[in-house]
Amino acid sequence: MFLFTEFHNKSVGLTIKPKNVYSIFTKYQKLTFLETEDFGKVLVLDDLVQLTERDEFIYHEMISHVAINTFPRKIEKVLIIGGGDGGTAREVLKYNFIKEVHLVEIDKEVIEIAKKHMPFTAKAFEDKRLKVFIEDGRNFVRNTQNKYDVVLVDCSDPIGPSKVLFEKEFYQDCFKILKEDGIFVTQSESPFYSLDIIKDIIKNLKISFPIVKLYTANIPTYPAGYWSFTLASKVYDPLKVDMEKLKDNIKGKNLKYYNEEIHFSSFALPSYVKERLKEVLS
């Protein structure tokens, strides 16, 4: 009997008993696709779970909707770095007022496996507003002449090809390609295991952005079941959003996790997190 285990540290991890396993080495990383009884289809990169069919909606809703609904205006253009499974694009494209979404994925094999096996996320690739670039996200941000309302960094953990997406130079370049009131969001690891990484992310974003805030969500198959995102804004504070306008924005979007209460409560942090991050949260 084959068991897949993602280790969160030396002695603790998540173990899955798959019904079927498909694994290849792409040009950039090890890609594993599992079919399971309890969590459906599972995408794994470099032995780290990226999504499961059962709980992916939490991550993809939270990385997308918080930024979009922080704006007092209707945005038009969004950049997604990573996100080759299509889940983040799916959420962004739920807003009819968004006219254009650029998705930059370094590994085309991720997109191909999603299109073949994960229609629940990959249906986003059928939307004509989505344009896909198969290239390095770091280089794209450095060289693009486009200006975006929102930049979402839907990357894997800070190893392998995603490592450069956690560096301050990358954040500074993202600041430059945002419009005057633009917003940036990146996934920022588990507050239970990775507070040092989170601390560096916040510190580096504060070099460029006047407003930087950490928010979290409960995602069962991610380390500790507790995950974070960091939002950096040029102008708008996500905690000063008109709740009634937010409710109207998300009405009919078929959201399973994000709502107007979650928008605000996700920024409430446990005391141990606030204590460890007090130098950068102040």
Catalytic residues: 154
Whether residue 106 contacts residue 134, with contact meaning beta carbons closer than 8 Å, is answered with yes
Phi, psi of 164 (to 5 degrees): -70, -15
CA–CA gap between residue 215 and residue 263 (Å, rounded): 9
Q: Render the burial of 165-192: b for 16+ CB within 10 Å, e for the rest.
A: bbeeebbebbbebbeeebbbbbbbbbbb
CA–CA gap between residue 282 and residue 280 (Å, rounded): 6
Nearest to 177 by CA among 134, 227, 123, 234: 234
Diameter of the chain by CA atoms? 55
